[in-house]
């Protein structure tokens, strides 16, 4: 089964993309044939997430603001939605309406944690951080 993973964020030069070419077969970690994340074995291909300097700056700014996404890929996905909404010239409320459910879903996805789920105010603050930081650093 051939699959491609594409994550795009808008920039002044167009679209920033990361992922696998469609000609490669993607496997899921933990299943037979799946490469472990991280550096490749000698002569092998890496299965690590590779990010651009702009994307790294965005991820670093999120961390500095105290945003703790479930993964870098999820943070980049949320940022991509922000940039796409900005590129489509959506209103501030429309951007919020797109991003807030993604942030809520990501915050609620940590079901193995003993910590209580985040409050609505925490999700609102995190959503505002994602929108501000993606607009400044990623789009």
Q: pLDDT category, 2, cuts 50, 70, 90? A: very low
Q: How far apart are CA 81 and CA 88, in angstroms?
A: 11
pLDDT tens per residue, range 68-86: 999 999 999 999 999 999 9
pLDDT tens sequence across 101-129: 999 999 887 666 667 888 999 999 999 99
Burial 62-101 (b: 16+ CB within 10 A, else e): beeeebebeebebbbbbbbbbbbbbeeeeeeeebbebbbe
Sign of CA dihedral 61, 66, 72, 76: negative
Neighbouring C-alpha atoms within 13 Å toward the C-beta of 16:
24
Its pTM stands at: 0.66
Q: What mean pLDDT do residues 19-34 have? A: 42
Q: What are the residue ranges spanned by the domains of the chain? A: 53-138
């Amino acid at each position: 089964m051939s699959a491609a993973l594409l994550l795009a964020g808008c920039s002044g030069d167009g679209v920033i993309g990361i992922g696998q070419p469609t000609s490669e077969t993607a496997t899921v970690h933990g299943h037979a044939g799946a490469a472990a994340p991280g550096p490749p074995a000698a002569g092998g291909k890496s299965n690590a997430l590779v990010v651009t300097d702009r994307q790294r700056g965005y991820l670093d700014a999120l961390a500095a603001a105290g945003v703790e996404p479930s993964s870098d890929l999820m943070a980049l996905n949320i940022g991509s939605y922000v940039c796409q909404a900005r590129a489509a010239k959506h209103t501030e409320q429309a951007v919020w309406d797109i991003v807030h459910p993604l942030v809520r879903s990501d915050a609620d996805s940590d079901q193995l944690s003993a910590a209580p789920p985040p409050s609505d105010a925490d999700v609102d603050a995190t959503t505002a951080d994602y929108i501000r930081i993606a607009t400044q650093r990623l789009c």
